[in-house]
């Protein structure tokens, strides 16, 4: 400790700690019969609307922020909306949640999804590509560094573990590269040669559970 300065959490041995980024959870389930669930649920930002239903402890969400309040006005995540996503009765807002089940011969082979606000789509897609196109083991597919671009702000977010040469190549073609500690938190189950592989993203302290 120092009486004249403070230090980052990493200094105190909390290298694996990641600050909470919002109120979204994703989980996947696969049973012995092959029935699969990929479920994302959210209260949107931390503590949602900050309103608790009396007597229940249930926090109400503020998912209405996913609507475009006004054209060209960003929401809490910096996403710019359009007229098509304006608030209207009986209408669902645009959402980044991407619970996914991939089938082969009508049987689930990959159950995947993520939390992380607007980074959910890119995190889920990159994990799918790592497994199906690049044939990475599921653990490595999830742990591999990610990139994310959402148009506004006009910058390419990359995780710090990205290779220096890759970063230089991106900057060379005009990307404004900005390092982020975490770009989404992915959970996935892979069915491969009649064996199940389940992995939880180490970017947060997630867990895998199984029973025979």
> Cα–Cα distance between 84 and 199 in angstroms, integer?
37
DSSP assignment, residue 179? Answer: E
Look at residues 129, 135, 145, 127 and name the one whose alpha carbon lies nearest to residue 189. Answer: 127
**Residue 46: other Cβ atoms inside 10 A:** 12
Q: Which of 24, 42, 98, 100 is catalytic?
A: 24
* Continuous H helices in 3-132: 119-132
- 95-111-198-202 Cα dihedral, nearest 10 degrees: -20
* 133 Cβ contact list (under 8 Å, min separation 6): none
> Cα–Cα distance between 85 and 67 in angstroms, integer?
6
Is the distance from CB of 59 to CB of 47 less than 8 angstroms? Answer: yes
25 is catalytic: no
**Active-site residue set:** 24
């Amino acid at each position: 400790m120092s009486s004249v300065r403070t230090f980052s959490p990493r200094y105190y041995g909390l290298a694996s700690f990641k600050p909470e980024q919002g109120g979204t959870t994703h989980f996947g389930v696969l049973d012995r019969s092959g029935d699969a669930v990929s479920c994302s649920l959210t209260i949107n930002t931390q503590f949602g609307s900050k309103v608790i239903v009396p007597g229940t402890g249930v926090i109400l969400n503020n998912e209405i922020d996913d609507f475009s309040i006004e054209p060209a006005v960003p929401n809490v995540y910096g996403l710019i909306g359009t007229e098509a996503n304006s608030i209207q009765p009986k209408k669902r807002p645009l959402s980044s949640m991407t619970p996914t089940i991939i089938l082969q011969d009508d049987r689930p082979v990959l159950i995947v999804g993520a939390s992380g606000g607007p980074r959910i789509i890119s995190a889920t897609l990159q994990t799918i590509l790592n497994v199906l196109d690049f044939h990475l083991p599921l653990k490595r597919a999830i742990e591999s560094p990610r990139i994310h671009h959402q148009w506004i702000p006009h910058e390419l977010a990359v995780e710090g573990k990205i290779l220096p040469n890759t970063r230089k190549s991106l900057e060379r073609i005009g990307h404004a590269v900005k390092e982020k500690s975490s770009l989404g938190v992915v959970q996935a189950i892979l069915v491969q040669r009649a064996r199940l592989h389940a992995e939880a993203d180490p970017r947060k302290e997630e867990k895998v559970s199984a029973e025979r």
